[in-house]
A = this chain, B = another copy of it.
Amino acid sequence: MTRQGGLSNEFYILLMVKCPTCQEVGTVTKAGIVRGRQRYFCKLCAAHFAPGPAEGKPKSAPRHQTTIVDLARELGISKSTVSRALRDQPDIHPGTRRAVLELAQNLDYQPNLMAYGLVKSRSNVIGMVVPEFYHYFFPNVIVGAQEVLQRAGYNLMICQSAESYETEVANVKTLMASRVDGLLVSLTAQTNNVEHLRALARRGVPLVFFNRICPDLDTPRVVVDDYEGAFGAVEHLIAQGYRRIAHLAGPPALLVSRLRQQGYLDALAAHGLQPDPDLVISYDLTVEKARIYAQHLLNLPQPPDAIFAINDPTAIEIMLVAKSRGVRIPDDLAVVGFSNDPMSAIIEPGLTTVAQPLPEMGRTAARLLLEQLSAGDDFVPRTEVLKTELIVRGSSVRGA
């Protein structure tokens, strides 16, 4: 019996004590675990922390899952009749149906989706590929997508590409091996070859991109109005009196980056501000780089008086750097992010940010996929553009 956890030792004890978990006082009859600080659990609770007794373990596990053949045999009818009864088909004797349903219930029958999928050539599983799900963004999109898909009888299989192109390709491959019925994809920041996806699209595999969409593929897409959101955010900064506005942008490979950057530039232009190339930096969205570029911007001979960041994690990193240097926000420096990550409400001052309807993005992507699934070749791909909303907080309002 090996142990990998942080445990040190274990032995049997017999002692009158109070169990720290359930408060029961009595004789400790089971293995207790000794750690730096000694604790004695009651029988029940000790069992949770000690290796199980393997007592009642059925040696030859009755691993068998009930099948329709079992039901048929039991009822003395054919398996096709069982199948029909189970799927509520018209031509079936009510009595038979009732009997089947009842037995299925009793024997805890669960249809084997693999067998079902094999004959129907569909898995009822949707694959999803996201770059990461550490942050606020993707988990919330996933939640929305799952809501819609679940309701439609689909399961979600989620893979994270970890912002790696190779992993993304591998993920897609794995999902296709599982014969997912469709794919929800948000590209990595380094994906510029989309042959792995183009091949699927060509083959007719339903494909929906969201957020990190693929410009070269004629598939449905869900995005927020990044351009508009960025434009509005920068316009807000200008309205607040900031003039030397920098932009910490994402990698140009992402359309999102390009659109937000263009929104930034156009907003400056619209208000007669000359863009300064020194104030626009594209980076790879890693925390370390965010810190470095924030430092860099603040070290400039003529530092910016405001920074519009590609997203909230970036903006927050900027704020932390600024604060650590004694740069006052928003007096010396305004900061605006993108996403309305909960952190933006927590940090002080609050971070002004462009909110995106995340679960709605997931829901929309899922709906688009379902539509495509049912419409088949008649489906005409389209792009859904969701609205953003500027959330103004202290980081961009002087004297607030």
Task: Please determine whether A178 and B113 come into contact, CB atoms closer than 8 angstroms.
Answer: yes
Contact with B along A156-197 (1 / 0, CB 8 A): 111110000000000001101111000000000000000000
Q: Which 3 A-B pairs have the closest CB atoms?
A: A61-B204, A5-B384, A52-B381
Contact with B along A116-158 (1 / 0, CB 8 A): 0110000101000000011000011011001000000001111
Comparing A74-82, A84-92, A343-351, A390-398, the segment that makes contact with chain B is A343-351
Given A115-B118, A133-B139, A158:B158 Cβ within 8 A: yes
Residue numbers in B under 8 Å from A21 (CB-CB): 227, 255, 258-259, 262
Given A20-B266, A204-B63, A348-B348, A50:B228 Cβ within 8 A: no
Q: How large is the interface on A (under 10, 10 to 19, 20 to 34, 35 or more residues)?
A: 35 or more
Residues of A whose CB lies within 8 Å of any CB of B are 1, 3-7, 20-23, 33, 35-37, 39, 44-45, 47-63, 65, 108, 110-115, 117-118, 123, 125, 133-134, 139-140, 142-143, 146, 155-160, 173-174, 176-179, 199, 202-205, 213, 215, 218-219, 221, 225, 227-228, 231, 255, 258-259, 262-263, 266, 316, 320, 342-343, 346-348, 364, 367, 377, 380-387
Q: Write the nearest CB–CB distance from A316 to chain B, whole angstroms.
A: 7
Given A21-B258, A118-B114, A173-B110, A231:B143 Cβ within 8 A: no
10 A/B residue pairs, CB under 8 Å, sorted by A: A4-B384, A5-B364, A20-B266, A21-B258, A52-B381, A55-B218, A62-B203, A112-B118, A157-B157, A320-B346
Given A155-B174, A258-B22, A380:B1 Cβ within 8 A: yes
Q: Write the nearest CB–CB distance from A104 to chain B, whole angstroms.
A: 13
Copies of this protein chain in the complex: 2
Given A53-B218, A108-B199, A347-B346, A386:B6 Cβ within 8 A: yes
A96 and B385 alpha carbons, distance in the complex (Å): 52
- Beyond A4-B367, A155-B157, A156-B157, list 19 extra A-B contacts (CB 8 Å): A1-B380, A20-B259, A47-B218, A48-B383, A51-B382, A52-B218, A52-B380, A54-B380, A57-B218, A58-B202, A65-B176, A110-B173, A110-B176, A111-B177, A114-B114, A114-B117, A134-B139, A155-B174, A348-B348
Q: Write the nearest CB–CB distance from A363 to chain B, whole angstroms.
A: 10
Task: Please determine whether A215 and B63 come into contact, CB atoms closer than 8 angstroms.
Answer: no
A115 and B119 alpha carbons, distance in the complex (Å): 9
Task: Please determine whether A134 and B140 come into contact, CB atoms closer than 8 angstroms.
Answer: yes
Q: Write the nearest CB–CB distance from A304 to chain B, whole angstroms.
A: 22
A387 and B20 alpha carbons, distance in the complex (Å): 18
